[in-house]
């Protein structure tokens, strides 16, 4: 029976002594019968990591955890939190929306953390 974690975020991804990633905190996981493509449920998880479709509809699918893993990857590549809060303006900004604004542009690498940008540039030149 598939298990949906529903709260994948950077603080729930742990590294062991061999640098192998392990998921933690299965407190809100959901078992979904194989015959169902998705299941409606009360939305739970951490803002910034939640799949927008799941957030809007309450329908949990296998794509929901994949989306959350993508946000964790963006965090690693950019060095930014999934949601930023500006105290002086009370504005919130989303890492995913920030990332989307760079997709397809020539300055795409500008979103990356400086160290990651160097690595990606080296890989692209190979």
The reported pLDDT for the residue numbered 115 is 77
Tens of pLDDT, residues 4-57: 777 888 888 888 899 888 888 776 666 566 565 566 677 778 888 988 988 888
The reported pLDDT for the residue numbered 22 is 85
Looking at domain 3-125, what is its CATH homologous superfamily? Transferase(Phosphotransferase) domain 1 (1.10.510.10)
The reported pLDDT for the residue numbered 72 is 92
What predicted TM-score, i.e. pTM, was given to this entire model?
A: 0.73
97 is written with which tokens?
Answer: 């929306």
Out of 7, 51, 65, 91, the active site residue is 7
CA-closest candidate to residue 5, choices 48, 57, 51, 37: 51
Cβ of 36: how many Cβ atoms within 10 Å? 11
Q: Can you say how many angstroms the Cα of residue 9 is from the centroid of all Cα atoms in its chain?
A: 7
7 included as an active-site residue? yes
Tens of pLDDT, residues 56-68: 888 878 788 889 9
Q: Average pLDDT, stretch 82-107?
A: 77
Task: Map out the domains of the chain as residue ranges.
Answer: 3-125
d(CA 55, CA 33): 21
């Amino acid at each position: 029976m598939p298990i949906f974690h529903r709260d994948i975020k950077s603080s729930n991804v742990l590294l062991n002594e061999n640098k192998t990633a392990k998921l933690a905190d299965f407190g809100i996981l959901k078992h979904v019968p194989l015959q169902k493509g998705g299941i409606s449920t009360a939305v739970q998880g951490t803002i910034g990591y939640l799949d927008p479709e799941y957030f809007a509809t309450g329908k949990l699918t296998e794509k929901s955890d994949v989306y959350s893993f993508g946000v964790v990857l963006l965090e690693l590549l950019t060095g930014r939190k999934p949601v930023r809060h500006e105290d002086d303006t009370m504005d919130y900004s989303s890492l995913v929306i920030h990332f989307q604004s760079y997709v397809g542009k020539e300055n795409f690498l500008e979103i990356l953390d400086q160290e990651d940008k160097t690595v990606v540039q080296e890989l692209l030149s190979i």
